[in-house]
Amino acid sequence: MKTIKTFGKTFGLAAVLSATAFAGAEAHVTFLDREAKQDSTILATLQVPHGCDGKATTEVRVKLPEGFVFAKPQPKAGWELEVIKGDYQKTYDNHGDKVKTGAIEVRWKNGNLSDDFYDTFVIQGKVSGVEAGTSLAFPVTQMCGDTVTAWDQVAKEGGDAHGLKSPAPLLKVVAGEDHGHDHDDMTGMDMSGMAGMAAAAPAGETVKAGDLEISGGFAKAMLPGQPVGGGFFTVKNNGKTDDRLLSVTSPVSGEVQIHEMETKDNVMRMRQLKDGIAIAAGETVKLEPGNLHLMFQKVKTPFKQGDTVPVTLTFERAGKVDLVLQVLSAQGK
């Protein structure tokens, strides 16, 4: 089934200037290829690595920014497709035809994508009339029944995209010729964890550091094209003093963030915990899917089942602790 609706109003310009402001920023819903050449027709391939806390994704809505024109979504088996048309702000030339209207939003509806699975949603379109260096934002709404996750935040010009709780996926527009690819940019990589690798206990084993006992470490296998990986473990504080997990590094990842999932007003979001996680005296804190977790960004080689992922945890009191996470299946089993 395909329905076409028309919006009388134009959709606001979602372009963001100063792409350098986003260097190193990692959104959770991202494009497989985050760069597009000026005036080229591309397949904008959206990937949604997280489901909705165990619930299946049933609808994915993508708003298309000005400058991404003549858009056509790829139909997917098991999903209804709705294309919402509206006026462009500018007029675009399509092989000699002056075009003023087109798709401004695409919705894949009434599907059923298990939280255990990964999928991509593809829209063909042309990047037109956009200056090189501009990042186009595609606000996404992911719905799992009545749970709604809005990936729609855009940093102000010069602002820090890292601080955003649920950033919109971005497509960086680059000059048509001879642009440098920086997909493999690992300049942020921290090798400091390497030194401790030999000393770390075997994957999944319990590690003791001062009053802390860390156990059950695992990571989820990453599916092809998936940009980020999740890591989990349990920390028990046997002492009488509070501690805090401050930061995490890994030699296999450019950046490891500490995240939590939170549901507010029925909207589930991913949040980076910049102050880390409190490990109160006598308490046990569990990092687990759908809750607190490590998020591995800029992963060099996708995690495969059977691999191990060394991490160095830094605690306020217990100091640096080396841990090896066992890579389980993509379902974390």
Q: Which is closer to Cu ion, CB of 107 or CB of 259?
A: 259
Question: Residue 253 and residue 56: Cα distance in Å, rounded?
Answer: 28
> What DSSP assignment string belongs to 204-237?
T--EEETTEEEEEEEEEPPPTT---EEEEEEEEE
Burial 204-227 (b: 16+ CB within 10 A, else e): beebebebbebbbbbbbbbeeebb
CB of 319 to Cu ion, least distance (A): 25
Q: Which is closer to Cu ion, CB of 64 or CB of 235?
A: 235
Q: Which is closer to Cu ion, CB of 28 or CB of 107?
A: 28
Question: Residue 47 and residue 33: Cα distance in Å, rounded?
Answer: 10
Question: Is the Cβ–Cβ distance between 272 and 258 less than 8 Å?
Answer: yes
Q: Which is closer to Cu ion, CB of 28 or CB of 61?
A: 28
CB of 281 to Cu ion, least distance (A): 27
Choice from 295, 311, 325, 327 touching Cu ion (CB under 5 A): 295
Residue nearest Cu ion by beta-carbon distance? 259
Span from 30-38, 66-74, 153-161, 288-296 in contact with Cu ion (CB under 5 A): 288-296
Q: How many amino acids of this chain bind Cu ion (CB under 5 A)?
A: 3
The pairing of beta strand 170-174 with beta strand 35-37: parallel
CA-based nearest residue to 235, from 264, 275, 203, 208? 208
Binding mask 246-275 for Cu ion (x = CB under 5 A): -------------x----------x-----
| Contact between 27 and Cu ion per CB under 5 A | no
Question: Residue 49 and residue 54: Cα distance in Å, rounded?
Answer: 13
CB of 220 to Cu ion, least distance (A): 11
CB of 322 to Cu ion, least distance (A): 22
The pairing of beta strand 277-279 with beta strand 284-286: unpaired
CB of 295 to Cu ion, least distance (A): 4
Q: Which is closer to Cu ion, CB of 111 or CB of 290?
A: 290
CB of 270 to Cu ion, least distance (A): 4
List residues binding Cu ion (CB under 5 A): 259, 270, 295
